[in-house]
Chains A and B, each alone.
Chain A
């Protein structure tokens, strides 16, 4: 296979990591929303935790994106 083509395919494959990030972020916000609708008074107190969970879930996917960027531009 042409090395350049392999490079692009590899970069595309590395972006698969973002699937997990998408599922994770959706899970966190969905569960926060359903919890917040059941008990709206407790919701503001958990907002910081929501953002921390969002950040942690996002980070794992972004590692894959970073690998893709390193493959493309590194």
Chain B
């Protein structure tokens, strides 16, 4: 099988390998500090450091850094207000944390020789499962068992119910899967493609400039995708929150 494991350090899949940097074991569970953990810590440190530095002055007329922090705040706050309404602003810290974390992970991964945390499905699935659990908990906390009415849309004839209710149920339960697979597949496919085309640069010899130009252009596209996927993850979280908070169906 021609996978990265066989091709060693030069295969396109090599960049996704997880290495243990410091081995830990807690109650028989492998909790080693890996390169994945390192980049998560790095990303969180960057976000916290940037936001702390940017909002340090708290001047009425914002400095350049402060306006960047304010812009990112307003961007997510508007998204929550538009999609969930004022009742959703209670959950703004959750949404903002999700957005900045995913954005930082995606962007850090674009630096050559770095590691993309979001290219592993277990990471994105953990995030999506968190969203799913939080949204379901909010729904049941606000509406009690009335939240189950979400699966029974209004204005549908009774004889269609045996068909509609399972479909609604499945589409609700598949949310964490589609949410996580979208982010993971986009990041993984993009990074693999970059590496595959980067491999052509050497093997094509004199004509190597063509894949080189393509790789440069594609890196630009990947920056857009990194932002877009973080944005889509957050927008969909807002829409799921709207279902749980307002229950309009």
Separation of A72 and B4 alpha carbons in the complex (Å): 12
Given that A4-B1, A72-B3, A73-B3 are contacting pairs, would A51 and B232 also be in contact in the complex, using a CB cutoff of 8 Å?
yes
Residue of A nearest to B232 (CB): A55
- Stretch of A22-30, A32-40, A57-65 with 4 or more beta carbons under 8 angstroms from chain B: A57-65
For residue B236, CB closer than 8 A to chain A, the reply is: yes
Whether A66 lies near B239 (C-beta < 8 A) is: no
For residue B246, CB closer than 8 A to chain A, the reply is: no
Whether A63 lies near B3 (C-beta < 8 A) is: no
For residue A13, CB closer than 8 A to chain B, the reply is: no
Whether B182 lies near A52 (C-beta < 8 A) is: no
Whether B235 lies near A48 (C-beta < 8 A) is: yes
Residue of A nearest to B182 (CB): A59
Separation of A58 and B179 alpha carbons in the complex (Å): 11
**Count of interface residues, chain A, beta-carbon cutoff 8 Å:** 15
**In the complex, how many angstroms separate the beta carbon of A60 from the nearest chain B beta carbon?**
8
Tell me which residues across on chain A come within 8 A of B188, comparing CB atoms.
69
Whether B239 lies near A52 (C-beta < 8 A) is: yes
Q: Quick one: which of B79, B185, B188, B231 has the most chain A CB within 10 A?
A: B185
Separation of A55 and B57 alpha carbons in the complex (Å): 39
Whether B236 lies near A52 (C-beta < 8 A) is: yes
19 contacting pairs across A/B (C-beta < 8 A)? A48-B235, A51-B231, A51-B232, A51-B235, A52-B235, A55-B182, A55-B232, A55-B235, A55-B236, A59-B182, A62-B181, A62-B185, A62-B186, A63-B178, A65-B185, A66-B181, A66-B185, A72-B3, A73-B3
Give A contacts to B, CB under 8 Å: 4, 48, 51-52, 54-55, 58-59, 62-63, 65-66, 69, 72-73
Give B contacts to A, CB under 8 Å: 1, 3, 79, 82-83, 178, 181-182, 185-186, 188-189, 228, 231-232, 235-236, 239
Top 6 A-B pairs, shortest CB-CB distance: A62-B185, A59-B178, A55-B232, A59-B182, A66-B181, A62-B181
